Each structure stands twice: as C-alpha cells, then as structure tokens.
Copies of this chain bind each other. A is one copy, B any other.
C-alpha cells in the first residue's frame, strides 16, 4: 500500500490516480509551485489532465488541511504609511482590522542573506461579531 493512498483515505479523500499524482508532486517539489507549474509538470504523465482538475484537487486538499495556500489573491488595498502593523481579515464578513503587532525582524541567520524592504503580517479567521451571529 502506498503511504499517500493511506494518508488521503485517512482524510476521507478517495485516492484517485490524478489526486495521488498531484499530492506526490507537492511532496517532491517543496518550492511552492503554482497551479500552472503543477499542471505543466504533470501534463506529460497525464496527457488528459486539465487545469480545472488541478484547481479542484488543490481546493480539496486545502479544505482538508493537507495543503496551504500561500499568498491569497484578492483585491489590493491601500494604506497611508504610518507605523508597521499587521492586519486581521475576517473570512466571513471580509472586514479588515488593524492589529498593533509589528512583523518580527529577521535574525542573524538571515540578515545578511536578505535585504528586507517590507514585511506583511496577515491573520485570517473569524471576527467577534461573526462568531456571535453564527447559527
């Protein structure tokens, strides 16, 4: 039995051929691939693969907390620069809240490898009033 098979079954996901392939691709390519990269890479082995399937499968994994989506695409928002701070976005009401936390600075391990020009810290979840108004 395949470890990926078992893992998917454990999460009530039927381990179809395509799903296993996509999962293994993620295991073997930890460089945060995009949908297009996954699609391009697998289309040789799976000539009938469609991009929609890649989207669907990733969504399935995300819903089951097997995969994380890295940079949420949404509209851009604009802010007059004040002090560094973070934001909380409610996934229900879509509201954006300011949070008075500064993104942590990079320590010595990284500070000569990367010249940081900006940092963004974004929390996601459910805000108070949406928690209350839940059925």
Binding site for B on A (CB under 8 A): 26-27, 30-36, 38, 58, 65-81, 87-88, 90-91, 96-97, 99-101, 103-104, 106-107, 109-110, 112-128, 131
Contact = CB atoms under 8 A, between A and B. Distances in A.
Contacts of A124: 116-120
A92 to B, nearest CB: 10
A125 B115 contact: yes
A61 to B, nearest CB: 8
* Number of chain copies forming the complex: 2
Contacts of A74: 71, 73
A131 to B, nearest CB: 6
A30 B40 CA distance: 42
26 contacts: A35-B75, A38-B78, A69-B77, A70-B77, A70-B87, A71-B75, A71-B76, A71-B77, A71-B122, A73-B74, A88-B110, A88-B116, A90-B114, A99-B110, A101-B107, A103-B123, A113-B128, A114-B125, A114-B128, A116-B124, A119-B122, A119-B123, A120-B122, A120-B123, A120-B124, A121-B121
